[in-house]
Amino acid sequence: MPLPALQIPAPDGRGFDDRRPQILEACKQYLSASHELIRQHHSAGASGTEVVHQLSAMMDRMVVGLYQELSTVVDGSHQGHLTLVAVGGYGRGELNPYSDVDIMFLHDGSLAPERVEAFAQKLLYFLWDLRLDVGYSVRTIADCIEMAAADTTVKTALMDCRLLTGHPPLFEALHKTVFSQILTKSSDSFIKQKIAEMKKRREKYGDTIYLLEPNIKEGEGGLRDLQTALWVTRVKFKFNDPRELIVKGVISEEELEVYRAALDHLWRLRNELHFHTRRKSDQINFDLQVHLAAFLGYKDRGKVLAVEDFMRDYYRHAARVEHFASTLVSRCIWRDEGGLKVLGYFVRRPVGDGCFVLKGELIIPDESVVEKDPAVLMRIFELAQKHGVSLNIRVKWLIRRSLYLVNDKFRRNREVNQSFLNILRSEKGVTATLRLMHHLEFLNEYIPEFEHIYCKVQHDLYHIYTVDIHTLFAVEQAEQILNGELSETLSLPCAVARQIGKRELLLLAVLFHDIGKGEGGGHAEKGAAMIPTIARRMGLSKEGTERLEFLVRQHLLFAHIAQRRDLSDEKMLLQFARQMGTSENLKMLYLLTIADIRAVGSDVWTTWKATLLNELYEKAFSILERGNFELEASGERARAIRRTVREMVEYDIPATVAREELRSLPIRYLLSTPVKVIAEQLRLLVGLNDRDLVLKVRHEPDYGYSEVTICTFDVYGLFAMLTGVMAANGVNILGAQINTSKKGKVLDILQVNSSQGLVITDERRWQKVEADLAGVLNGTVAVEKLVEMRERPTLLTAKPAPKVPTRIDIDNDVSDEYTVIDIYTHDKVGLLYLITSTLNRLGLYIGVSKISTKVDQVADVFYVRDIFGHKITADEKLAELKSTLAQAIDDWQ
């Protein structure tokens, strides 16, 4: 595609400074026209390689034209002594839109440095006035040698240098110096530094390919990985064109094609990112992912979004890039092994199956052992784990080259499966070994069903890793719990872990819990349906198979009940315990649930969730140990509780007053609350006779929340008032138990913390809450105004998020007394107040509420009854309830 001509106005007798505005305008028009032409070519389907080369050619024409104009009209005395050199990405001819333009003014030292600098400034001011990001240097060849020795960045920039214009012999001298002196000095040190830089960069931009908002340039599997691999290889093998590496036997034709295809793909993506955002933009955030998917022609497939398909392909591609880059770098750090083989024969330690340990690595001198006995492929991983060593790079290649041996016969091989189960049974290195299997793509071959979730994306802010990587993080959590490494923070789970029979079965359950996510919804059922086939191949027992299938099918149940259901509802608890069947099932499901939640992301696990999970486990375990799934006689238990509480308060409260207050409290409250707490709260209820409002705050720093007890007289819409006041004061409600006595008194217990998940200990803040609540109750303050005045946090709008429609589910089976409403939607300031006030307008009373926020999404639960104390069962009422709530939520700004 021909570019427009750069038409610098011809000399007209005026001085250069007088002509400068016209020259600058000509350059602006040239850049604008060329840039638009290239953008159109890109949008029409031009490859990434074409576009970066066209952008570089566009820049060459203008930079060279300006240099020559300045040399001719302003100062030509430097000719024969000065050369203009492109370095870095521009030197490689790989400019993306809006990328930096790096140039070097190379002179031979015969001119005064001030004259060279003055000439350089004239050219640079032109480029800066054109709003280009220009990096520059003024150097002699001696300067280059000195600076390259001290700074690897200079060395890499010089590797990519390219002649633009000036004195060619000077550039040829530099080029010769780069290859004969600069690249030969401290090459080993340079390679080590570049590998260290790569490691540091990955720590900064994400040490896994599979971050959900990857950096296309600096992240693992990005452009910088390919560039680093080539820099290291150039230092080691000294070449101008990568094709020379084929002649030198370093890479194959096929590998060179992988490299070029990888570069082209990444360039095309980066070109579109820069064109679309009109700036350097390398972070592929959620909204840009949607745009890129549409640009590349991806379409939604039923429940699978176009953007999820696009990102899955991106991760597969990034994995190939990372593998190619790591392989190439590894080839560069090898030594001539001729002498080492003789020495190694005496110092290597045999560990079986033709494998040896040498200098902390597992090596296989005779690689034919794998072809002769494919089961050795699995034994390699087991032996490396057992001896605590890494795999030599040759062994990694051997595994990748031998993946074709992993067939159905291999998967059913008893020795292979026993070796895999040994890996899971080990008390060290389980996750590291599975990660290595995943990295080498062995895991997908051994467990073909794992392919369903390989690089699988969930397009939300809640999951920050792909499904396969989340799974491996979950295995790591389970391993740490099993080994007692988290006993300080997870004392109960670690204690339970010591009681389970087969740790490998739990780890298999964690490994397979999301395996059904490959094809859209209902992944728990889909995953469970795969288990009998997998278990049969692995030779698991009937009991083990059934337990594994149960755990995968029910892996969402424990968290659902704990976080979204009333844990004081004995009927529901009995039903849950009955579903568990055995205490072993309960223990494993409890541990699987914890590992799953903790592996989602650091912000997802909270002490409040831990409290709820522990409470459900202990209550269900107690029922299973009792072995009786019958409801206990609630009337007799309630009477016994009342007697005990009366005895506890007999010196504080007159017996008749205590008896009257206790009789008016709901049986549900009495059965679900410790007697000590009932006694404390009874004192608050009695004190209400002299006041309109009593508010008491008790902090639970170990659990990350405060418990707020509110006593007042019942008024319609009270809970909505409470939520509004809390929202207005920046108090985050985690859960709420609402109790109304027959005497018209309300005892509401809220579990709360700050929006950052911290305990609120500032007494002045709680005084403000109490004052606002009193004002709302006596009618001097409008709760709507308080909510409106609350400053909107920038957190909710700072980051573009994928939009998921509001979903409202209604359950009339789980509770005998209440209709249960589950609301899933995006978080908004004042949302809880909006929901509760809407329920009030619908004439509904809220008995229990559970609040859950997952990064940008809420999952709130409300147990409600109508004004007559009945559940809502009429179809038209349920339809009205759903539509009214959905509309109110979607309209809320």
For every residue of 119-177, which 3-state class applies, written as one string?
A: HHHHHHHHHHHCCCCEEEEEECHHHHHHHHHHCHHHHHHHHCCEEEEECHHHHHHHHHH
In this structure, which long-range contacts are made by residues 670-678, counting pairs with CB atoms below 8 Å and at least 24 apart in sequence? 670/638, 670/641, 670/642, 671/568, 671/570, 671/634, 671/637, 671/638, 671/641, 672/567, 672/568, 672/737, 673/568, 675/641, 675/644, 675/645, 675/648, 676/648, 678/641, 678/645
From its phi and psi, is residue 53 left (phi > 0), alpha (psi between -120 and 50) or beta? Answer: alpha
Output b/e per residue, 76-115; b: 16+ Cβ within 10 A. eebeebbbbbbbbbbbbbbbbbbbebbbbbbbbeebeeee
Which residues does 432 contact at the CB level (< 8 Å), separation at least 6? 385
Three-state DSSP class for 102? strand
φ, ψ (nearest 5 deg) of residue 241: -110, 135
Cα-based distances in Å from 643 to 317, 634, 637: 70, 14, 10
Q: Residue 675 class from Cβ within 10 Å (0-12 exposed, 13-18 middle, 19+ buried)?
A: middle
Indicate the helix (H) or strand (E) that contains 861.
strand 857-865
pTM of the model: 0.78
Start-to-end CA distance of the chain, whole Å, equals 49
- What does the radius of gyration of the chain's CA atoms come to, in whole angstroms? 35
Antiparallel, parallel or unpaired: β 731-740 and 705-713 = unpaired
- Say how many C-beta atoms besides its own lie within 10 A of residue 448's C-beta: 15
DSSP letters spanning 764-788? HHHHHHHHHHHHHHTTSS-HHHHHH
What is the pLDDT at residue 83?
A: 94
Is residue 768 a contact partner of residue 729, using CB atoms and an 8 Å limit?
yes
pLDDT tens readout for residues 473-491 = 999 999 999 999 999 999 9
Residue 815 Rama label (left phi>0; alpha psi -120 to 50; beta)? beta
For residue 174, what pLDDT is reported?
A: 93
Could you tell me which residues come within 8 angstroms of residue 721 by beta carbon, excluding any fewer than 6 positions away? Answer: 715, 773, 776, 777, 783
Q: Which residues contact 878 (CB under 8 A, 6 or more apart)?
A: 810, 872
In the numeric block, which tokens belong to residue 707? 């418990």
**Both tokens assigned to 788:** 């409106």
- d(CA 546, CA 561) in angstroms, rounded, equals 22
pLDDT digit string, tens, across residues 585-613 = 999 999 999 999 998 866 678 888 898 99
Give pLDDT < 70 ranges for the chain: 75-76, 186, 202-211, 334-346, 458-464, 519-521, 601-603, 628-634, 791-804, 829, 853-856, 893
Place of tokens 């870095």: 88
Quick one: DSSP state of residue 279?
S
Which tokens go with 841? 């307008």
Residues ≥6 apart with Cβ < 8 Å to 363: 344, 348, 355, 356, 357, 392, 394, 395
Strand order in the sheet with 390-391: 349-352, 355-358, 361-363, 390-391
Provide the angle, in degrees to the nearest 10, between the axes of the packed helices 467-482 and 583-600: 120
Q: Which two tokens stand for residue 102?
A: 């790096």
Nearest to 751 by CA among 694, 700, 718, 706: 706
Q: Which residues pair with 349 in a beta bridge?
A: 357
Determine contact, residues 103/86, Cβ cutoff 8 Å: yes
How far is Cα 279 from Cα 819, in angstroms, rounded to an integer? 53
In the sheet that 82-86 helps form, which strands lie side by side, from edge to edge? 134-139, 101-107, 82-86, 162-166
Residue 223 neighbours by CB distance under 10 Å: 23
Residue 164 tokens, joined:
């633009």
Give CA–CA dist 468/489, Å, rounded: 26
